[in-house]
Structure 1
């Protein structure tokens, strides 16, 4: 595709905004449409705050079906399934189960690591280029193990980290405290940890809003409070997008609507297995900085991430499969409250915490969906699951390269929707 084309992006979350920024920087005329009044008000609003290439792994893996049964029975379990009469949900779950083999896990992870690491590098370059600030910290991630069996079971994870050259540290109790001094007051509650020093943290909402302003400086037009009603096509191309403001036309179109992407493209005959998996978070004001985390601590027992964001603590977790519901359940907050108060009892004021949920756009195999479709001018950038923040800048840059007729810096051939034409989709 030649330079200086007119591009219409559907969605203003972190994926849509990074796509807009990199496309505009490449010289394209970009418009972004969203139903919300400003950027990053849905899934990008209050996620766990991690930029964690080292933890870029598929949820579908060997042993997960057995673990899932255990998680469903735990009081503070990380998995919740609320069954619905929805064939899309059950087909998606079956596809995920089919990916729970060692062979498929290896393939899927090999597709996730490159885009995640490339994205981290793009984010660092972006900070260098424009000085964007978003309560960022570059102090790594500590996966904290409460039990010796968890620590003993890290061999497979470490083998994968070695395979991809990801720096890591296996820490005993004292090593964990050296990385996160506030844990000294609860040292009897854990035995050790696995630290990834190259991981970063930051406020995704703050980042996305700041980058949207930078995009506007490059000429990007944002159309907010605008419903997206459907995509209009002829036999081989998109001819426009029906919106609350009328039919919008462009040369190229990008769907970056997270969990709603699959619903929008389904009438076009595009089978996109992206389904919402709800996550929850609380944001807690810090009352004692010496009792708060320095970076991110992953509480392995409850699969809860506890992250320092400026003068706040973001606590995120839970995988709830309940369709498109955004209902807040008190039991999910209880799990988050328990984890942070157990490990950082002096850090935050839970009485002033805000409670939130967002719908992560998950694929059944793990990697996102980036690139072309059967329609020559329709492109996807969606399905990033829990790693939208981690993979956002790389995904935006890759998409900009594709639409500019350039070869991306990493191999993206296995990230398109075409991979679902194969047996294991």
Structure 2
């Protein structure tokens, strides 16, 4: 079967890999000049199944007000006349209950765990390297209330058998020795030893090269102008210069997925939440993190990637605006400079922003379920695209192939929105 994959970020490329492994003829189309040039370009670098949680949760509305008032706050909302923004925010608020948080997290953790296992298998099969490390994630708590509030998340970790360690300050320093330089700035941490780290762009570029060797065709610098339908099927996809046809079509355009889908009457509640990162050259390896440290106060991830520190965070709800705002750099620089003051040269950091495709409930949208029988979705992963990419691609490939995936895909289907 011929499959057209629209999008060459980490989700699109992993989808192409598993589709090709399943024996399909695969063509990947993207407007960029190469893979991983947008949201996958410089994300936080963490692969954190245990940290897979919805943003919508109990207490979040009150916390959001506090975050927006903080000097180095993790949340920024720039209101604008955008009905899609208003609708998405309303749906997210509806999910801020204990019951819905537990349900949505329970939908996210299995595919995230499956994805980590799939990534390990892929790494062993291909030998791909991408500055990867397998030393876990440390969620660092600066206040006692943060430390005491871990009970709900720990209950879900126990439910799915995710290993964890609740650490006192000395345990945090044992896991991340450089934190000894700032002893007294934190009260403890939650360590998830099964988590990993790695450069998402490097991985995606190398996997795309493997895909090409396996026969996948990449059509870069190609802008999709429309999706053309015929009764209950997708008939073709139009570009600026030609019409492309296939037996099945996969939408993996991230935050831009809704634009084309709306034109054919498919409405998905995916909206961009802007994130920022800085990449800091390491000057003192002993003063840098060994893996990922999540600064809970500022919602910032600080990750070791080879000879660099990737610092990612901030949730800015501002539509499709890609303006680099210096205030957001300040939040990232403050977090890494406060916890790892000797690790890197912040003055030489590169600054980047990207759009995370977020659903209002948290889980991604994977599979069919629309009125078009040959249309498949693989989008809406939010901050967890790198974490969930391999598992999502593998589930998607099974569904296209008519197989039963190893993970129940029904909770991830678009039909959950009614």
- Inter-partner Cα distance in structure 1 for 2:247 and 2:353: 35
Instruction: Tell me which residue corresponds to 2:401.
Output: 404
Shift of 1:245: 2.8
Q: 2:372 aligns with which of 364, 375, 397?
A: 375
Q: Is it true that 1:265 corresponds to 2:261 in the alignment?
A: yes
Mind listing any 5+ residue stretches in structure 1 that lack a counterpart?
A: none
Shift of 1:393: 0.2
- Inter-partner Cα distance in structure 1 for 2:12 and 2:360: 22
Q: 1:307 aligns with which of 303, 308, 313?
A: 303
Aligned pairs for 1:14-93 within 5 A: 14-93=10-89
Instruction: Tell me which residue corresponds to 1:385.
Output: 382
Between 105-114 and 361-370, the greater mean CA deviation after superposition: 105-114
Between 149-158 and 52-61, the greater mean CA deviation after superposition: 149-158
- Inter-partner Cα distance in structure 1 for 2:152 and 2:257: 34
Shift of 1:419: 1.1
Q: 2:186 aligns with which of 184, 187, 190?
A: 190
- Inter-partner Cα distance in structure 1 for 2:164 and 2:257: 35
Mind listing any 5+ residue stretches in structure 2 that lack a counterpart?
A: none
TM-score (norm 1): 0.97
Q: Is it true that 1:416 corresponds to 2:413 in the alignment?
A: yes
Instruction: Tell me which residue corresponds to 2:312.
Output: 316
Matched residue SS, 2:412: coil
Aligned pairs for 1:159-238 within 5 A: 159-238=155-234
8 Å Cα contact 2:8-2:28 kept in structure 1: yes
Q: CA offsets per residue over residues 105-159 of structure 1, 9 Å max, x none?
A: 1111111111100000000000111111000000000011111221122122211
TM-score (norm 2): 0.99
> What is the CA RMSD across the aligned residues, in angstroms?
0.7
Q: CA offsets per residue over residues 260-279 of structure 1, 9 Å max, x none?
A: 00111011111101000000
Instruction: Tell me which residue corresponds to 1:152.
Output: 148
Q: What is the number of equivalent residue pairs in this alignment? A: 417
Instruction: Tell me which residue corresponds to 1:129.
Output: 125
Q: Is it true that 1:334 corresponds to 2:334 in the alignment?
A: no
Q: 2:114 aligns with which of 109, 115, 118?
A: 118
Q: CA offsets per residue over residues 302-329 of structure 1, 9 Å max, x none?
A: 0000000000000000000000000011
8 Å Cα contact 2:106-2:156 kept in structure 1: no
